[in-house]
Amino acid sequence: MSAATSSTGGPLKKKPSAHRKYIPTCLRTVLLPFALAALLTPFTFAQSPRASGTELQEFVGTYKQLNSEKRLRVLEKDGHLVCESVEGAALIAVPLVRAPSGDLFEIKETYNSRQQVTFFRDRSGRIAGVNFAGNSYLRLISDLASASSSETSPEAIRSPAPFPGPAPSRIALELSNRTGDFANQAESDVFILFERRGRIILRDSAGIEHQVNPLQFVKKGEQTSFTYTSSDAGGAWVLAFEQHTGVPIWEIFTQVGPYHRLPYSVPSGSTNVVRVKPARPLSEIRKEALAAAPPEEKGSFRKSDLVELAPLDRSIRLDIRYATSNDFLGTPVYTQARAFLQRPAAEALVRAVRRLEPFGFGLLIHDGYRPWYITKIFWDATGPEGKIFVADPAQGSRHNRGCAVDLSLYDLKTDQPVEMTGLYDEMSPRSFPDYPGGTSLQRWRRDLLRWAMEAEGFTVYESEWWHFDYQDWHEYAILNIPFEKLDLAKH
C-alpha cells in the first residue's frame, strides 16, 4: 500500500501518533500491591555536605548479590546517592549520606541511628562492589563501560539515509519478546519498550526515553517474575511482569496501573497480517473499479518502458502478496504474481542489490507497478482509520506510474525473510520508517535497506518503511493496464 505522496525530508507531519496523552510525573508515586514503588520516610541531608553529580557518577550502577539474584541499583539524584532495591512487593528507595571517608556512605534512619554502606574498588581503582545491610554486591560488568560508549537517540528521519554502521549483536529471544507497544486499559496512554545495546528502554507517550533495568526476578519452574525500574529523579517507572520461558509478555503492571500489549504489536516471528473488512462486498468494489477511469492528466510524459524485475538478477526474489490471500484484504487482487518497474527505476534497483550483497542480503519484492483499478479497490475497501496507508485514486499512486516498489530483505544464506520492526502492509505506527521500537538488529536491517535504496535514487515513503519511490516518478503517466495484458500492450 501507499499514499499519494512520498517523503522529501523530515518526519511525517500528519501521521497518527503512537504516543498518546503523557502521564504526569507526579502520578508515578501511586502505590500498587504488585511490585510497585514504596518509598521510605523522607530524609534530610543537612548534616552532610552536598556532593556534585560528577563526583558521584562513579558509584552509579547496578549491583548483584554474591549468593543470589537480588540486585541493588545506585542512582544519583539532586547531588545525593539513592540506593534502590526490591523487597517483596515494594521498591525501596534509600537516600545515602556521604561520610567523611570517600567511599563510605550512611543510611540515616528515623531513630537517629546510622547504618554504613561501603563501596569497594578493583585494582584499576574503579568501583567494583558495595557492602549493604550486611551483604556484599558486585557491580555488573555492563555498568563498568564508559558513558561515552552509549548509543545516542535515533536521529530525525532524513533523506538520503546515512549508512547505519556495523550490524548490532543478536539478542536472546526472551529479551526480544519483552519489546513492544503497550497501552493502559482505556488505551489513552501508550508506551514503547524497545532494545538498545542489550538494554530495555521505555519511550513514554511524550517521546521521553527512560532506561529500565532489572532489579529482581524470581524463577518458579518455567515461569519467571521480573521487576524493572527506571532512574528518573521526578518519579521512576516501575514495571513488573511474568514471562513463561522466553515467550512474549502480554501484560505489564506499573505504578499507575496495568498495560497490555496492543493488538498490532505482534510477537517476534509472527506472520500475522491485519485484515481490513470492507464495508461492501469486495466483488462489488472490484466491478466498480474495473469500470472506472483514472484521473485525466495534462502535460507531456516519458514513454512507459516497464521491465519485469525477477529476471534482472538472481538474488531478486518475489513475494507478491496481492496475488495471494495473504494480504490485508484476505483475498487475491492480482491475477498474476509478477513485479514491474520503469526501466530507470529497475536499473537503480539492481544497483541497490549490489550494495546489499556484501552484507548477506537479497531483495524480496512485494509489489511494483500497480494498475490504477487496484488502487481504487484498496481505497474503497479501506476505512477512514487506514486511509493514511493507501493512495487516493483521484490523485493516483507512484505504483500506478511504475516508479514505486514495496520490498524487504531476505538472508542469502538461509533464503528466509528477515525480521523488521513491523510487518509488511501493517497499518500501525510500527510501519513508520522512524518508528523507534523493536530491537537494534531489526532497526539496523530496516535502516540498511533504506540506505541502499536511497543511495540509488529512491526515497522512502514516510508512512511505510517498505515503500520506496523512484526520483523520476513525476515524469511518467498513470497506467491502468492489467498484468496479463502488459506483454501485448503498446504504450
| Domain match, 257 and 288 both | no
Is residue 173 located within the same domain as residue 61?
yes
**Same-domain status, 114 and 230:** yes
> Do 126 and 192 lie in a common domain?
yes
Q: 307 and 223 in one domain?
A: no
Q: Are residues 235 and 345 in the same domain?
A: no
d(CA 288, CA 285): 5
CA distances for 304 relative to 344, 345, 473, angstroms = 11, 12, 11
**Angstrom distance (rounded) from CA 250 to CA 265:** 10
- The reply to whether 167 and 203 lie within a common domain is yes
| Coil, helix or strand at residue 69 | coil
In a domain, 477, yes or no: yes
Q: By CB neighbour count within 10 A (0-12 exposed, 13-18 middle, 19+ buried), where does 99 fall?
A: middle
**What whole-number distance in Å separates Cα of residue 257 and Cα of residue 138?**
33
Q: Of 193, 226, 261, which residue is a domain's last?
A: 261
Q: Which domain holds residue 36?
A: 25-143+156-261
Compute the distance between CA of residue 191 and CA of residue 228 in angstroms, rounded to an integer. Answer: 15
Q: Is 149 part of a structural domain of the chain?
A: no
8 A C-beta contact, residue 225 and residue 218: yes
For residue 373, what are the CA distances in angstroms to 78, 104, 214, 454, 480?
A: 63, 75, 53, 28, 6
Q: Which of 261, 296, 313 is the last residue of a domain?
A: 261
- How many folded domains does the chain comprise? 2
DSSP 335: S
Say if residues 95 and 115 touch (Cβ distance below 8 Å). no
Model pLDDT, residue 14: 35
CATH number of 442's domain = 3.30.1380.10
Both 241 and 304 in one domain: the answer is no
The pLDDT profile of the chain, 491 residues, written as one tens digit per residue, is 654 433 333 222 334 344 433 232 332 333 233 333 333 233 333 344 445 556 788 888 888 877 666 788 888 877 888 888 776 546 677 888 887 767 888 886 644 556 788 888 877 788 888 888 888 888 876 544 433 333 433 334 566 899 999 999 999 999 999 999 999 999 999 999 999 999 999 999 988 899 999 999 999 999 999 999 998 766 689 999 999 998 999 999 999 999 999 988 977 655 556 688 888 999 999 999 999 999 999 989 999 999 999 999 999 999 999 999 999 899 999 999 999 999 999 999 999 999 999 999 999 999 999 999 999 999 999 988 778 778 899 999 999 999 999 999 999 999 999 999 999 988 889 999 999 999 999 999 999 999 999 999 999 998 899 999 999 999 999 999 999 998 744 44
Choosing from 261, 293, 308, the residue where a domain stops is 261
Of 376, 379, 364, the residue nearest 466 (C-alpha): 364
Please, which residues have CB within 8 angstroms of residue 355's CB and are 6 or more apart in sequence? 451, 452, 455, 456
206, 348: one domain:
no
Residues 396 and 256 in one domain: no
Residue 9 lies in a domain: no
Residue 18 resides in a domain: no
In this structure, is residue 271 part of a structural domain? Answer: no
Q: Does 241 map to a domain? A: yes
Same domain, 451 and 329: yes
Q: Is residue 150 part of a domain?
A: no
What CATH number has the domain bearing residue 199? 2.40.128.50
Closest CA to 215 of 60, 87, 115, 116: 87
309 shares its domain with 244: no
Residue with cell 519467571: 224
At 237 the pLDDT is 93
Q: Is residue 198 part of a domain?
A: yes
